[in-house]
Amino acid sequence: MKKLLIALIAAAAVTATTIIVFTGDDAISRTSSITTLADYEYEIPPGTGGRTDAGEELDIFPLLLEVRVGESIRIVNNDDRDHLIGAFFVGAGETLTQEFVSSGVLTGECSIRPGSSFTLRVSE
Per-residue pLDDT of the chain (124 residues; tens, 9 = 90+): 444 333 333 333 333 333 333 334 444 344 444 455 899 999 999 999 999 999 999 999 999 999 999 999 999 999 999 999 999 999 999 999 999 999 999 999 999 999 999 999 999 9
In angstroms, the Cα distances linking 80 to 25, 66, 97, 113 are: 32, 28, 19, 17
CATH number of 19-123: 2.60.40
| Domain segments of the chain as ranges | 19-123
Strand 104-109 to 88-90 pairing: unpaired
Rounded to two decimals, the pTM is 0.70
- Which residues are 124's β-sheet partners? none
